[in-house]
Structure 1
């Protein structure tokens, strides 16, 4: 890649920066060691962190060396929020989250080759700091006026709850991370989300004052929708990267439902598709939006990136089985349960209930008469197979992998039948 900065700008991955000309020159002249930090304030990263992981991978693909920092120390404190003091988690909880985040991050970077990624933990050097070291060797380089002007700090100070000294001191620890990585690894670039600009500048200033060196910082934009609202909430909450918190199927569906006004921009930010392909998909959005080709490409690319090819194949099989002509019995229990958890449901007892009972139990028909007419006219389906015998009782053989039975009225009205023994 001849100019990684130009590529990142085209993809919309650069928001704020220091001297971009000097940074471009540094990136062009040789491998640059850079870092991004991730605090374990939850057991998983989410889609906002995904932007940073993708930026790191772009830089590594261009020949630069990534340091992935998981904040075992800063995670014990937490970056100040705009409102509300964070609840401090027990040390053992944070330690467990550190390991979960390390495992997630490791899937996005290469730890082999000349520019192999390195995983670091700021607890390694922060735990060695005494109170005197913190105040004497670090604190003297920070000016209260600058620290108080940071948006999260000033907003909290103006609120009734205020801000604790613990959270207020976070910016010193993050700045020290950059200094330590500069000294230990020759790191000269820190990246982060745009809301981290003040903390990033703090590290830059600390290195300049203690080492007399010039380093760089760069932020990615906070991702919003075309209407300016925040991007990234599902019905269940955050768009987690862990399948324990958000199933691959639900993850895929989230990206599949992106609006036409946003999809091309998100293809640039969240995928590694080539320019020519993204431009082709942009044309498809303009000319044939009903095909949702761009959304399908986005959902497939991001799901494969986060969960892998095998999980993507399971998701696509479940999607085809539910809404196409795929085989429902080939779908595993976890994927099937996730794919159907939002559907209407009802309960029946095996051995007596028929498709007529199932249609009524699930609320697809209001009464047995209407349900029978639907079934007799060929409009009822049992696990995607048209029902021929209206009076045939449902049996254990009709259960799918997760123990449920899927019924359908017409082409689009699906429901789940749960069996009561």
Structure 2
């Protein structure tokens, strides 16, 4: 089997957690252009970085000539996937689901090509078929093919059943049947032969393969990508500071970029393999040179740039670089008003100011100093800057201190900043 075979490429990049009947799947995708799908339930208004791996995997299949289908779970999101969740999700109103569906659909459209001929991506919503089905039809057409004994022994279900304080409702228990029916419908109507998802979706994907085999006597396939967790065991994509969203209005491109700059050094080259399209040879070369002075930080910058460009585009990446130059290298002349608004969003601490006496008061209000006395000492020690310019004595703010008439960057040393918003 060629090392350039798509499945081998995915495996070499660490993008495969589970796969069914690999030999048959390899033959199928080598000799045919297939349709494959991945589902995303709109349980929030944005995807987060935990969704990047399945999106990138869909893109890799499309690059190789296959047709990706993205299924938005307009119906299944009304139920909620219990897979490895500690407690039952709150049920959202269908009007909210519809709004979130529209937002997520726009995000997904950024990653895939929806206008490239025969393998153009397709966006579907499973509410299309579920809204036409009643409960009796569902039980007859789907429920009869599943054993409660098998379903109850799925690890995701067992985990919840073993928690007497939570348990699992029949609503969530039925979720795997809904996803199985999705795969069945997509195979029947769109000739989908492969479903991909995160590793936590393996049970649901297996249910779909089982249903298609029982009802149509056909072999279809499943492939899952790793479900990444951080060193503290928290699911990747969520941090102590909150989820890292793909929506620039929820997580600014600057904060997104800084997230990758602050990952553990041990993850750099693995993340380059799974989250970027940089060649394996270049990644290996960089890893071999990691002990060269400054190479680790250069490779982190390389990683952060690649992923930020992938998610937010070149223009937003340039804005991030201007902000970085402004904060860390004092290149104030390049900064734009929109960059400072991005900083205010979630880049650095900020406070709204209407009137203020002097620099000492500003330092206290911004929590860069605990008192006017400490602020005075900091100023005397030459550790305070206004808009990257060192201040050697107490200062009364003037209009020239307000960038674009609105912002003032207050800094203590090189790493502690606060944006004053007038």
- Using structure 1 for the length normalisation, give the TM-score: 0.90
Residue 223 of structure 1 corresponds to which residue in structure 2? 228
Question: What displacement does 1:362 show?
Answer: 4.1
Report the CA distance shift for 1:287/1:136 in structure 2 as closer, same or farther (over 3 A).
Answer: same
**1:4-43 map, 5 Å:** 4-43=6-45
What is the SS of the residue equivalent to 1:349? coil
**1:80-159 map, 5 Å:** 80-81=82-83, 82-112=85-115, 113-159=117-163
Question: What displacement does 1:357 show?
Answer: 4.8
**Matched-pair contact (CA < 8 Å) for 1:346–1:361:** no
**Does residue 344 of structure 2 align to residue 337 of structure 1?**
yes
1:295, 1:402 → 2: CA distance? 35
1:234, 1:301 → 2: CA distance? 21
Structure 1: which 5+ runs fail to align?
none
**Matched-pair contact (CA < 8 Å) for 2:79–2:171:** yes
**Matched-pair contact (CA < 8 Å) for 1:346–1:362:** no
**Matched-pair contact (CA < 8 Å) for 1:380–1:387:** yes
Report the CA distance shift for 1:22/1:269 in structure 2 as closer, same or farther (over 3 A).
Answer: same
Residue 180 of structure 2 corresponds to which residue in structure 1? 175
Residue 255 of structure 1 corresponds to which residue in structure 2? 260
Report the CA distance shift for 1:402/1:182 in structure 2 as closer, same or farther (over 3 A).
Answer: farther
Question: What displacement does 1:331 show?
Answer: 4.5
**Does residue 292 of structure 2 align to residue 292 of structure 1?**
no
**1:173-212 map, 5 Å:** 173-212=178-217
**Matched-pair contact (CA < 8 Å) for 1:334–1:402:** no
Deviates more, 1:305-314 or 1:287-296: 287-296
Deviates more, 1:285-294 or 1:116-125: 285-294
Deviates more, 1:322-331 or 1:145-154: 322-331
Question: What displacement does 1:98 show?
Answer: 1.1
Question: What displacement does 1:157 show?
Answer: 2.2
**Does residue 51 of structure 2 align to residue 49 of structure 1?**
yes
Question: What displacement does 1:228 show?
Answer: 6.1
Report the CA distance shift for 1:360/1:207 in structure 2 as closer, same or farther (over 3 A).
Answer: closer
Report the CA distance shift for 1:331/1:271 in structure 2 as closer, same or farther (over 3 A).
Answer: farther
Q: Choose the corresponding residue for 2:66, options 43, 64, 67.
A: 64
Residue 401 of structure 2 corresponds to which residue in structure 1? 398
Report the CA distance shift for 1:372/1:144 in structure 2 as closer, same or farther (over 3 A).
Answer: closer
- Using structure 2 for the length normalisation, give the TM-score: 0.90
What is the SS of the residue equivalent to 1:407? strand
What is the SS of the residue equivalent to 2:213? helix
1:307-352 CA-partner distances (Å, limit 9, x unpaired): 1111111111111101113226424242121365337x696835x5
Question: What displacement does 1:233 show?
Answer: 2.7
What is the SS of the residue equivalent to 2:33? coil
1:362-404 CA-partner distances (Å, limit 9, x unpaired): 454566677567656755422012347x465211331234833
Question: What displacement does 1:92 show?
Answer: 0.6
1:273-327 CA-partner distances (Å, limit 9, x unpaired): 1223212332343333565112111111111111111111111111110111322
Structure 2: which 5+ runs fail to align?
none
1:194, 1:221 → 2: CA distance? 5
1:155-190 CA-partner distances (Å, limit 9, x unpaired): 222322322111111111100111101111111000
Residue 316 of structure 2 corresponds to which residue in structure 1? 311
**Does residue 249 of structure 2 align to residue 238 of structure 1?**
no
